[in-house]
Amino acid sequence: MNDADAARTADASAVALPETAAAHPSRGAGPATKGLARRGAAGPVALVVGGALSVQFGAALAVLLIPRAGALGVVTLRLTLAALVLLVVCRPRVRGYSRSDWGTVVAFGAAMGGMNVCIYQAIDRIPLGAAVTLEVLGPLALSVIASRRLVSLVWAGLALAGVVLLSGGGFDRLDPVGAGFALAAGALWATYIVFSARTGRRFPQADGLALAMAVGAVLSLPLGLVEAGTRLAVPSTLALGLAVALLSSVLPYTLELIALRRLPAGTFAVLMSLEPAVAALAGFLVLQQALSVTDAAAIALVIAASIGAVRSRTAAA
């Protein structure tokens, strides 16, 4: 994200199978939930938009932190500090789970850690909006594959056109290494969605999310220590790292969890499809990363493909 975060899940302990082309697994919404959303959707929509803004502005802040701690150091700070906050708040139970349960949460945490490593390596090399646009292709591909409908090929083609336009005919314009990391983050995001859903079925409330975040933190810690060492302990760096953890993980999870109690999952997915545009806005305002007309058109194509895929799945449900 989408750490973008993209990197994240609205409520990993209660998700259904993914039905979003651009983002995180979400609760299914029954008739009662849909009725509430129709009567007062403005509040939940504002919460989801606020969560998206929080994630992407947190990512922009992370870019500013990278010169101090390195991309891997930022990942370590984000995951470790977010894990500490979630563990304190959720106080998850650790007994009574099977080996299979722990295998699932470890896989979830590993996907989360890998996704964060890749997206931060990407945004260290290419503009934030471009990185999130490429990253979102992973969940989009998952949604297209899961739908098994002919119209999904249309949305896949539209997304591919956006990627070709974004790359200018070759990823060398973006930096091929950065683009590759963004695409890898997208693949891990799709994996993350699958295992977050499985974790949600095995762990109550937000316990699975807190435990998975801890796994990701443990896996990323050696990488961060090797790259940044004692720089991670500098008070100002720790303070910025905490801000990134709160903006990119804790705050958006909370906002989305509240929103999803009143908002249909399909609507949530459509809103999450706008993440590349939010990332581009954050990159422009915080990092002065201006978009060309071609880049803006490419991002618009991927967003349109993502929304189309979401609506197609919602209509088929």
Model confidence pLDDT, tens digit, residues 186-210: 999 888 878 888 888 888 878 888 9
Report yes or no on 11 lying in a domain: no
Report yes or no on 30 lying in a domain: no
The tally of domains found in the chain comes to 1
Report yes or no on 6 lying in a domain: no
Report yes or no on 37 lying in a domain: no
With bands split at pLDDT 50, 70 and 90, how would you rate the model's confidence at 5? very low
Report yes or no on 15 lying in a domain: no
Are the C-beta atoms of residues 6 and 55 closer than 8 Å to each other?
Answer: yes
Report yes or no on 33 lying in a domain: no
Which of the given ranges, 99-103, 258-262, 271-275, has the highest pLDDT on average? 99-103
pLDDT: which is higher, 119 or 307: 119
> 3-class DSSP state for residue 292?
coil
Give pLDDT, residue 4: 37
Report yes or no on 23 lying in a domain: no
Are the C-beta atoms of residues 14 and 209 closer than 8 Å to each other?
Answer: no
Closest-CA residue to 119 (of 190, 171, 59): 59
Are the C-beta atoms of residues 23 and 276 closer than 8 Å to each other?
Answer: no
Give pLDDT, residue 92: 92
Range of the domain at 295: 42-315
pLDDT in tens, 31-56: 333 443 344 556 777 888 888 899 88
Give pLDDT, residue 314: 62
Distance CA 172, CA 218 (A): 34
Distance CA 3, CA 258 (A): 20
> 3-class DSSP state for residue 37?
helix
pLDDT: which is higher, 85 or 41: 85
User: What's the sign of the alpha-carbon dihedral 116, 120, 121, 125?
Assistant: positive
With bands split at pLDDT 50, 70 and 90, how would you rate the model's confidence at 147? low
Report yes or no on 19 lying in a domain: no
Nearest-10 Cα torsion for 240, 6, 8, 154: 170
Distance CA 275, CA 49 (A): 9
CB crowding 43-69: b at 16 or more within 10 Å, else e: ebbebbeebbbbbbbbbbbbbebbebb
**Count of alpha carbons within 13 angstroms of residue 118, beta-carbon side:** 27
With bands split at pLDDT 50, 70 and 90, how would you rate the model's confidence at 259? confident
pTM for the model: 0.76
With bands split at pLDDT 50, 70 and 90, how would you rate the model's confidence at 280? confident
